[in-house]
């Protein structure tokens, strides 16, 4: 029986292929629980999980909460906007106070890259990174890998195109680490202002044209245009961006006929993905990703509290 020999889940970069497989296999076994009429098992009874979110979230926060509840853990949500952070309390002080309440796991999303790593070195509890700045979003990459495995039966040998704002995307970074470790060929594409210098050093092929990346792809992963960064002039206008980088029926036709389309959400309809593609059940697996997110987060909570495969 394999156990996860880690206190924290901080990123995919520091995860081995064996650890990724352990998490995906465990998540697969949890998928069935969410199909039951009574979606609850006693596995984590007596454990408590704090979701500490300093940034907005719909999918990640809700699915960590549901994951905890479906395993019978007590889950508590804290939003920075309604916490003592608004009175000026530092992240370190907040973490020390939460530690004093003896939860088992703290899930944190923060705009600062490295915030979860800081807490991991500070408190006894397991820390899960639910997205730190433009750095990593490990649970998203794990649910993406689970979805690819579910739909394609494998990850190794597939061509995965990741399109959009690569520079600011923690989803892209975690997926590049994970998919490469699992043997996929990863191609990234975006406007030059959205491609980090040296991204090719991560072992990916880099294109500036969406069409070049999508050609013969098995998986097309579109990224959200981060509208909050528009003021930084990284692209001329949404219309101009959509003209070159919106996935539509025409350019998706360049991918393999059975290619799947992914997006971490939230979607900007008509900007990075056309609504008819996003809503087309013959290619879009966006809601499967969301469904799998609950199982992946159940697996993370279970494995971090000492569960084995």
- Where along the sequence are the contacts to ligand CP (CB under 6 A)? 57-60, 131, 140, 264-266
Question: Of 182, 126, 102, 148, which is closest to residue 5 (Cα–Cα)?
Answer: 126
Contact 167, 226 (CB under 8 A): no
Q: Is 243 exposed, middle or buried (0-12, 13-18, 19+ CB in 10 A)?
A: exposed
Of 50 and 206, which has the nearer Cβ to ligand CP? 50
Closest approach of Cβ 303 to ligand CP, in Å? 20
Report the C-alpha gap between 70 and 294 in whole angstroms.
Answer: 9
Q: What is the DSSP letter of 83?
A: S
DSSP H helical ranges for the chain: 17-30, 59-70, 91-100, 115-120, 138-152, 170-181, 210-214, 238-245, 249-252, 275-278, 286-304
Partnered with residue 222 across adjacent β-strands are: 163
- Least distance (Å) from ligand CP to the CB of residue 24? 18
Between 265 and 307, whose beta carbon lies closer to ligand CP? 265
Question: Least Å distance between CB 216 and ligand CP?
Answer: 27
Nearer to ligand CP, 26 or 60 (CB): 60
175 vs 251 by CB, closer to ligand CP: 175
Whether residue 163 contacts residue 220, with contact meaning beta carbons closer than 8 Å, is answered with yes
- Min dist CB 59 to ligand CP, Å, is 4
| Least distance (Å) between residue 66 CB and ligand CP | 13
Q: Report, in Å, the least distance between residue 178 CB and ligand CP.
A: 15
Q: Which residue number, 126 or 140, has a Cβ lying nearer to ligand CP?
A: 140
Nearer to ligand CP, 49 or 206 (CB): 49
Nearest Cα residue to 44 out of 103, 128, 130: 103
């Amino acid at each position: 029986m394999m156990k996860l020999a880690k206190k924290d889940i901080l990123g995919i970069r520091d995860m081995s292929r064996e650890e990724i497989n352990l998490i995906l296999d465990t998540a697969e076994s949890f998928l069935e629980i969410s199909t039951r009429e009574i979606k609850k098992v006693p596995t984590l009874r007596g454990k408590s999980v704090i979701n500490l979110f300093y940034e907005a979230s719909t999918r990640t926060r809700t699915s960590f909460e549901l994951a905890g509840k479906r395993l019978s853990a007590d889950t508590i949500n804290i939003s920075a906007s309604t916490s003592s952070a608004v009175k000026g309390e530092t992240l370190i002080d907040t973490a020390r106070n939460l530690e004093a309440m003896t939860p088992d796991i703290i899930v944190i999303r923060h705009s600062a890259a490295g915030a979860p790593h800081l807490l991991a070195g500070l408190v006894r509890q397991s820390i899960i990174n639910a997205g730190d700045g433009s750095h990593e979003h490990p649970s998203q990459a794990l649910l993406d890998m689970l979805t690819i495995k579910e739909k394609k039966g494998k990850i190794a040998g597939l061509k995965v195109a990741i399109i959009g704002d690569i520079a600011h995307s923690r989803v892209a970074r975690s997926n590049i680490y994970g998919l490469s470790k699992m043997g996929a060929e990863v191609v990234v594409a975006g406007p030059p202002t959205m491609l980090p210098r040296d991204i090719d050093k991560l072992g990916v092929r880099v294109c500036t044209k969406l069409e070049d990346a999508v050609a013969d792809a098995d998986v097309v992963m579109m990224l959200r245009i981060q509208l909050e960064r528009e003021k930084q002039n990284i692209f001329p206008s949404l219309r101009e961006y959509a003209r070159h980088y919106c996935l539509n029926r025409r350019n998706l036709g360049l991918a393999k006929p059975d290619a799947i389309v992914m997006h971490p959400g939230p979607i900007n309809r008509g900007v990075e993905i056309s609504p008819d593609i996003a809503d087309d059940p013959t290619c879009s697996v966006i809601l499967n990703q969301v469904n799998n997110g609950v199982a992946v987060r159940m697996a993370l909570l279970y494995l971090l509290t000492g569960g084995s495969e």
